[in-house]
Amino acid sequence: MNKPTAFVFLFIFMGTLVQGQKEYWEDPTMIGENKEPGHATLIPFDNLDQALLGDRLASAHFLSLNGTWKFNWVSKPDERPLEFFNLDYNVNNWVNIDVPSSWQLEGYGQPIYTNVKHPFPDPQPPVAPRDNNPVGSYRRTFTLPDNWNDGQIILHFDGVKSAFFIWINGKKVGYSQGSMTPAEFNITSYLLPGENIIAAQVFRWSDAAFIEDQDFWRLSGIYRDVYLMHVPDVHIRHYKAIAELTDNYQNGLLSLTTDLSNYSSSPKRILLKASLFDPAQQEIGVIQSIEQELSPNTGKKLDFFLEVNDISQWSAEIPNLYTLVLNLIDSNIESIEYISTKVGFRSVELKNGQMLVNGKPIIIKGVN
């Protein structure tokens, strides 16, 4: 084969490769990159009083990124800025936009309401429309609190439609799609001392848009809260608490599963204490693990059960709630973190075709 012919074959081969490469938002096998596994909603607190109060805004480990961001909107992906995440990129001429918000309600693009048909003409699944797929680019700066030098920094998006990339200080962190579910990224290694830059690029349509055929408004953007969460290197990453009724609905059984993570490069010895408080914030039950060793950069799952007598049932009419507080303790018997959540004891069952809540029949009325 002579050189000109070989060059033509090489050109055709490379062109085929380029055509075969799918963009993330067009690839059904790509729903996230570098995302943290999902977990129960939680924010660390420094002491028991804060945990019982449960106000995340008052936690020293919570930093909201809601507010004013710089914003650029284009009608299709080919027009989007490609290097806006770089530190030297000037966004001073961009407009301001509130986060959270849907950009259609801020004057960019059109809200769309449909039921069973797709919100764009001539659908070609799984490829989102390339000439009608608005892209919003966001940027802002933030400074970490002084006491966040140790531990891990988690970036949390409560909801973004429909797909988005994220960069910190000019470096790509990851990708997510899933409009109604949170997305988290561990950004510890991307951060700089002092001021930091966060950039996000949001696509209105993705391959997921083809399976969103319900009757609802199609809106776009960072439409739910954004915040940073600071967690210790040994952390209660996830928990699952199931509160049921026993003994003819008079007593309670709390089943608790916790996932502990050690982000550090050395083994750690810890204890986990779980305390249940009644609505008057009186402690009525305690579970404590034996000392556990967590290997470096690994996790461990712990299971517990707690029986409680004379429980106050939860129901829609009388929603009695208890407070569960999880306390991680190090080998020096010092608290590492507190996590809290509300739990309600109830029983839901079907007997002879009738749904019962706490042993009493209910009727469910629904509307479309």
> Residue 8 above 60 pLDDT?
no
Helix (H, G, I), strand (E, B) or coil at 195: strand
> Which CATH number is 25-47+56-231's, of 2.40.340.10, 1.10.150.120, 2.60.320.10, 2.60.120.260?
2.60.120.260
Q: What fold is seen in the domain 234-351? A: Immunoglobulin-like (2.60.40)
Predicted TM-score (pTM) above 0.75? yes
Predicted confidence (pLDDT) at residue 18 exceeds the cutoff of 70? no
Q: What is the pLDDT of residue 368?
A: 63
Cβ proximity of 159 and 200 under 8 Å: no
Q: What is the pLDDT of residue 114?
A: 86
- Alpha carbon dihedral 200, 201, 205, 210, in 10-degree steps, equals -50
| Contact assessment for residue 126 and residue 188, using Cβ atoms and an 8 Å cutoff | no
CA distances from 334 to 146, 147, 261 (A): 22, 18, 18
- Are 294 and 259 in contact, with CB atoms under 8 Å apart? no
- Listed by start position, the domains of the chain span 25-47+56-231, 234-351
3-class DSSP assignment, residue 289 = coil
Map residue 336 onto helix, strand or coil.
Answer: strand
Give the pLDDT confidence score for residue 78 in this predicted structure. 97
- Is the pLDDT at 2 greater than 70, yes or no? no
What is the spatial distance between Cα 86 and Cα 90, in angstroms, rounded to a whole number? 9
Amino acid at 262: N
Give CA–CA dist 176/72, Å, rounded. Answer: 20
246-261 residue pLDDT tens? 999 999 999 999 999 9
- 107-140 per-position pLDDT tens digit: 999 999 988 888 888 899 999 999 999 999 999 9
pLDDT band at 211 (very low <50, low <70, confident <90, very high): confident
Residue 181 confidence (pLDDT):
92
- Whole-number pLDDT of residue 304: 93
d(CA 21, CA 132): 20
Across 226-236, average pLDDT: 98
- Whose CA is closest to 65, among 241, 180, 185, 244? 185
Give me the pLDDT at residue 20, please. 57
pLDDT digits (tens, 9 = 90+) for 266-325: 999 999 999 999 999 999 999 998 899 999 999 999 999 999 999 999 999 999 999 999
Residue whose entry in the numeric block shows the structure tokens 């008052």: 58
Percent of the chain's residues with pLDDT above 90: 84
| Higher-pLDDT residue of 180, 201 | 201
Helix residue ranges per DSSP H, 286-339: none
The DSSP secondary structure of 50-118, one letter per residue, reads: HHHHT-GGG-TTEEE--EEEEEEEESSGGGS-SSTTSTT---TTSEEEEES--GGGGTSS--EEESSS-
- Give mean pLDDT, residues 173-180: 93
User: Dihedral through CA 349, CA 350, CA 352, CA 358, nearest 10?
Assistant: 30
Mean pLDDT of the region 163-171: 98
Per-residue pLDDT, averaged over 181-197, amounts to 96
Please say if the pLDDT value at position 4 is more than 60. no
223 with 100: CB under 8 angstroms?
yes
Total count of residues recorded for the chain: 368
Q: What is the pLDDT of residues 332-357, one digit of tens each?
A: 999 999 999 999 999 999 999 999 99
CA distance 124 to 173: 30
For residues 314 and 310, what is the distance between their CA atoms, to the nearest angstrom?
A: 13
Q: Dig out the tokens for 8 from the structure.
A: 């033509």
- Taking the C-alpha atoms of residue 280 and residue 291, their distance in angstroms, rounded to an integer, is 31
16 or 3, greater pLDDT: 3
